[in-house]
A and B are shown apart, each in its own frame.
Chain A
């Protein structure tokens, strides 16, 4: 606080000469550095929970009093009852397992194949140049629009969902990994060659470890994309899965079930995102060692 006093005292003599010679210098407005104070963590969480509770309460009250149509909007009490039923009498676990399975399979396949594809461009500049337009075309293509075709080719089972999830993830991984390959310092390569390295040695000891951060950086994006792919596959045609549950509930006007399945799906998404973030952190530490 004493600092404040001195800065004011220091400002005053500054103002005086400026006022004496107004033509030469404009009087400056005195401003303070804007300071933001952080709320304590407990208060932040309390506010967050409060907003959620208030929203649910408002929803319930609105539906009960007829402000909104309870048939189309459903209401929290119905959603809760359906949630219990979904897990006890319904096939919640089968659906979760199905969606989870196709997402993870698509994620792993797409990320692995995409990374390998991106790395492979290091081996030949000609090959990379020839492949470029195809990569960009495939990247800008709305792949979900091709989903009905994928279902026709791969059938109604898990394979078609995995295929869509893979299609969505593979290109992102490939392009990002290729960006890593392009960022490689040519001097670094020259150093390896000056030490008499073979191309395989340069690839294994330089290119792969150098590109790893790029490969890892897409993991979190890819898990979300893989889930989207799996859900869209289920929307189009499927026997199981959370996506299919949502579509089915919507078609039969079981709005509470739409909410329940969406809620479970979001939880699954958050869980997978957290798991991948954790994996990413472990891998990053692994690289350093």
Chain B
């Protein structure tokens, strides 16, 4: 997957090129307004780039929708549908018969921690459970690529760490290509194979940081010197980007 994106009229994004190999877990990290969401919208076909292209499996997919699974920070579950019927939304839109879609979704709901919630309405679910449902909806959309825009941003620390383990399990089972946006440096390192650090004004890529920590990763890996070294480098980059943005503004 490659995209080159020259700046729009507001220079939301400087030219950025990302090439993401299949089956990888990569993260975009950077301050607010660095264009992470713009990149996602362009890849998902919800925004026409002022220049540049999106290639998926070598095919030009610029401006086409329904090619990637896209999960926004809000779970956006439909309150008038049960969890099960929310999860199959993508399949339903793609024209899979309802019963077939439900049959496919049910075992997944049960295996991935939503057992007993299948026929409840979203308002009966906790924040973590709702995010699970939203993630399964993205997964069941059945594209090779999943774009996750700060999916755990609104969760409390403990739920967040559960959800990270859960996401890694899901990723291991399905082998999807995941592009993950977050503000949380530790989260990005813990989850990813590779991180892209971004900066603002205009939104641009500053550095690519590989995370060579072996998988499966234990929680305690966050205390290892290797992890801390990556974290330090990452935070330095973010602080510098922040400083230069302030100077520019002044």
Contact = CB atoms under 8 A, between A and B. Distances in A.
Interface of A: 185, 187-188, 190-197, 201, 205-206, 209, 212, 287-288
Majority secondary structure, B binding face: loop
Contacts, number: 50
Interface in B138-179: 141
Main SS of the interface on chain A?
helix
A209 B80 contact: yes
Interface stretch (B66-74, B125-133, B231-239): B66-74
Nearest to B72: A187
4 closest residue pairs by CB, A with B: A196-B66, A194-B70, A195-B90, A197-B93
Given A201-B93, A205-B93, A288-B121, A195 B141 contact: yes
The interface size bin for chain B is 20 to 34
Nearest to A198: B93
B93 A196 contact: yes
B46 A287 contact: no
Contacts of A192: 93
Nearest to A188: B76
8 contacts: A185-B76, A188-B76, A194-B68, A195-B93, A195-B94, A196-B67, A205-B89, A206-B78
Interface in B62-95: 65-70, 72, 74, 76, 78, 80, 89-90, 92-94
B45 interface: yes
B83 to A, nearest CB: 14
Contacts of A201: 93
B44 interface: yes
A194 B45 contact: yes
Contact of A191 (B67, B68, B70, B92): B70
A23 B75 CA distance: 57
Given A187-B74, A205-B93, A288-B121, A194 B66 contact: yes
Nearest to A202: B93
